[in-house]
């Protein structure tokens, strides 16, 4: 039975001195796809600046705000309502010939087509080690290897807030073995790519009513591409396949492509910023 979700995103910015000019871009609108359908999208700010909607380079909707008057405080609030269809993450035909999938990964044309999600980035570069952290077993299917990688990542890092930030790289994460959803996802993507599998970073929202680990703001997970099957979502923070509790906003190579908020502020002095996200859901009445 489909489920209706309500998402409220809030952020408040307070500045010591007058802000003379500022520009923000929000990447927080849920994607419309085969499992997600909009009911409503509302976005407002406390100083009544104009909100402009646009599309980014990956085809996802963004909101841009460029106030024309100076200010010391500004708040933003977004409310999204959408219908999420039930779906079975295992609902696909299993790989009949596992060797053909590995041959496809080695094909130069395949590698060119998926190049953005195979290459290393700042956040998906692994440190030099004596041996690989995780190596695929080619006697098993790609899907089984990716499930094993999901489990390994979940077991290798302990979820803990406050020990990493948006600038933390994999070397530090691997050494400390603590992090949040962004860190789990970067490690999963890096290891999938190291084994030749295209992987992309996904940002979105997670309904945490079932006891899942996740950030108090936005969640992150990965999508890996399996030849003859397509993109499959993996949540290494919770060691599960992506399901109806995951609400996708965008994907990219890493966090840099999916940052929910980017801004340029022209002001002097200190500032304070707070964010919050609330996700609630209910079954639709038939």
Encode pLDDT of 122-131 as tens digits.
999 999 887 8
Return the structure tokens found at 64: 């841009």
Task: Please state, in angstroms and as integers, the Cα–Cα distance from residue 203 to each residue in 11, 95, 244, following that order.
Answer: 17, 28, 15
pLDDT, one tens digit per residue, over 232-241 is 999 999 999 9
pLDDT above 90 for 24 = yes
**pLDDT tier at 79 (50, 70, 90 boundaries)?**
very high
- Phi, psi at residue 14, to the nearest 5°? -125, 130
Average pLDDT of the residues of the chain: 91
Check: CB of residue 76 under 8 Å from CB of residue 43. Answer: yes
pLDDT attached to residue 209: 64
- pTM for the full predicted model: 0.93
Q: Return the pLDDT at 266.
A: 86
The whole-number pLDDT of residue 282 equals 77
The stretch 277-282 carries a mean pLDDT of: 87
Domains and CATH numbers, the chain: 3-85+260-283 (2.60.40.2250), 98-258 (3.10.620.30)
The stretch 49-68 carries a mean pLDDT of 94
- Check whether 87 has a pLDDT greater than 90: no
Of all residues in the chain, what percent carry a pLDDT higher than 70?
A: 95
């Amino acid at each position: 039975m489909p489920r209706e979700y309500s998402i409220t995103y809030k952020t408040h910015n307070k500045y010591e001195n007058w802000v003379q000019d500022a520009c923000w871009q929000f990447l927080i609108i849920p994607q419309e796809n085969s499992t997600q359908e909009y009911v409503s999208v509302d976005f407002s700010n406390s100083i009544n600046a104009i909100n402009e909607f646009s599309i980014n380079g990956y085809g996802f909707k963004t909101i841009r705000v460029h106030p024309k008057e100076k200010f010391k405080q500004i708040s933003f609030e977004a409310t999204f309502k959408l219908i999420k269809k039930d779906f079975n993450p295992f609902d696909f035909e299993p790989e009949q010939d596992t060797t053909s999938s590995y041959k496809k990964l080695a094909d130069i044309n395949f590698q060119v087509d998926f190049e953005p999600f195979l290459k290393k980035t700042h956040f998906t570069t692994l440190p030099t080690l004596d041996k690989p952290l995780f190596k695929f077993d080619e006697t098993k299917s790609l899907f089984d290897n990716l499930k094993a990688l999901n489990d390994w990542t979940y077991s290798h890092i302990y979820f803990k807030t406050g020990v990493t930030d948006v600038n933390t790289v994999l070397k530090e994460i691997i050494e400390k073995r603590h992090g949040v959803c962004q860190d789990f996802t970067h490690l999963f993507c890096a290891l999938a790519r190291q084994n030749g599998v295209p992987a992309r970073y996904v940002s979105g929202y997670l309904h945490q009513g079932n006891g899942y680990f996740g950030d108090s703001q936005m969640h992150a997970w990965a999508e890996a591409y399996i030849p003859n099957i397509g993109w499959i979502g993996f949540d290494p923070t919770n060691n599960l396949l992506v399901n109806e509790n995951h609400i996708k906003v965008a994907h990219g190579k890493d966090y840099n492509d999916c940052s929910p908020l980017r801004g340029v502020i022209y002001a002097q002095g200190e500032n304070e910023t707070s964010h919050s996200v609330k996700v609630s859901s209910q079954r639709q009445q038939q």
